[in-house]
Structure 1
Amino acid sequence: MKVLVCGGAGFIGSNFVRIREAAGDEVTVLDKLTYAGRRENLEGTDAAGRFIHAGIEDADAVRDAMKDVEAVVNFAAETHVDRSIAEPDAFVTTHSYGTWVLLEAAREAGIRYVQVSTDEVYGSIEEGSFTETSPLAPSSPYSATKAGADLLVWSYFHTYGMEALICRGSNNYGPYQYPEKLIPLTILNALHGDKLPVYGDGKQVRNWIHAQDFARAIGTVLDHGVAGEVYNAGGPDECENIDVVRKVIELTGKDEGLIEYVTDRLGHDRRYSLSSDKVRALGWTPRHHFFEGGLENTVAWYVERKDWWEPIRSGDYREYYERQYGTKLG
């Protein structure tokens, strides 16, 4: 299959590119290369040579990119909740306007469209798991604009009969994740002996899925999903954030004295959990378990790939970190 991957130079997108190329697809990547999108993430892939430097809100670039493909998968997004609270405008532009541009171009080209979404559109759940029919109740500008994008996709299926689908994932971890998120931030801070910030009491519960497993779930939806349907892909493991931090401390040989509890995030959801029965029925199952090699292998990747993260940690990221946590990195 010839596939256009929007946001393919980002975290989950670059994992998806590798998996699809290994399966024989010809992949083209369109990416704006914001702070979290990097050409380095595509090193060693054929897509690195089929790269279009543009944002999904660029209608001309998007239309041209869709001329010779059979499907488009949209990973392009502003992804960090903290940034959406401080600067929501970029999230509205990318998730709302950008998704509309993609849908219009895909409708014109008559190709299959998969929207990559998040469990956060459902809000928080005290017990049990969200299914695809659960109501949307987003809690942040990030999740609200992602939910809006999902509704746009759904409307294009119902209004125009477009071959459009949605795949929502739980919290992802793994290689190539920008270190503003909990796991890579904690790993790199621990390696440097910096404080490990933990929001509130640290007892927020997350359902963890390895990025490669989520990428395979999206591929399953692309290949076998029914147009107009939503598919949830949740990880096999659930735990509190503080337990994640403690496990990283153990794996890096550091001391729990590095933990620093900070003021909780505004509107912080307490617990996420997804039922994956629907995508499992298509033949998908997760292969990585969080506390049985998944997190350990992720820590090992960051330990080995200093060449990947060192340029990030020495740049604008340091200024962002100081603004967000009120302290400087060592």
Structure 2
Amino acid sequence: MAAKDKLSPLALQELNSRLSSTGHQLITRESDPAKYARCIERWSMAAVKPAGAVLISESIDAISIAVHYATQKSIDLAVRGGGHSTAGSSSTDGGLLIDLGSSTRFTQVKVDKTKDHLIAGGGANWGHVDEAGFSAGLATVGGTVSDTGIGGLTLGGGYRWLSGKLGLTIDNLIALGLVTADGKLLTVSEEQNAQLFWALRGAGHNFGVAGHAYGTGPVSKRIAGAEGGQAYAGTLVFPVSQLNQVIAVLNRLFGAQGTLKGGAGAGGFALARSPPEGGPVLVIVPVVWLNDKKSGDIALKELFDLCPIVEDMKMMDYPGINNIF
């Protein structure tokens, strides 16, 4: 694949002219240094790249014009939702950055109670989705961090606490509004543009810009099984000397042949140094039991029997669960 070009001053001027009727903001380092810096900031500092310009707009027409122009002129194009791509996929070195995450329109989440669907803008993060859904008694499968953008995670598959019950995020995707490379806006679903929908649900990051997505929203009480749609969740911390024991217990509980298979709960682990900098390595174990505390204490007994040095387990609502990490 041929390398894409940077956004030249002449191209910037021409693009700005084409966008003149769309109510857009085209930001450069020179025009608004503070806002530009916020737009290119990323979850991982290794993924930060200096865009030639950043487009923020509330208009799908502006997105369409910008994508088509970048394609015509072979200008490097990146799209930012939550900015969590550690590979730098939501950043561009000198090209055009479309920042959906800084838009008001494209971060909105609407609820369709008649169908139990959540309708989310392509710049929304999972915190937006969780809060909107839970307030209506709904939840869906997303990521394990609330400020991750829905676009990158969804099109990459998406795995979360509810995956044992409901599959991947793409398994819960109903439709997409997609701006393609030629600037066309398509509705993509099993009924419309079905082959493209199939591709998006398995290799989907480079087919277009997702302006909005539709995700299913099963009623949270049916998922959690506890009153008020809550679940028993939190974090356990162990010394690194117990790492092998922790992994063995997690596999016995949540593995493919585990005693808790079937999506009733989920767990994982991460290694981190305790503060201050250079402190001992600790094993951080987030755990979610999709039911009440009484049954959770019984189901997770093997973990508790390892005597964690920190135990922070309690009943949480669904948005709270996705703020554990």
Indicate the structure (1 or 2) with the bigger Cα radius of gyration: 2
Higher strand share: 2
Whether TM-score is above 0.5 comes out as no
Q: TM-score range by the shorter chain?
A: under 0.3
Q: Comparing both chains, which one has the higher relative contact order based on Cα–Cα distances under 8 Å and sequence gaps of 6 or more?
A: 1
Q: Which TM-score applies when normalising by structure 2?
A: 0.27
Q: Which TM-score applies when normalising by structure 1?
A: 0.26
Higher helix share: 1
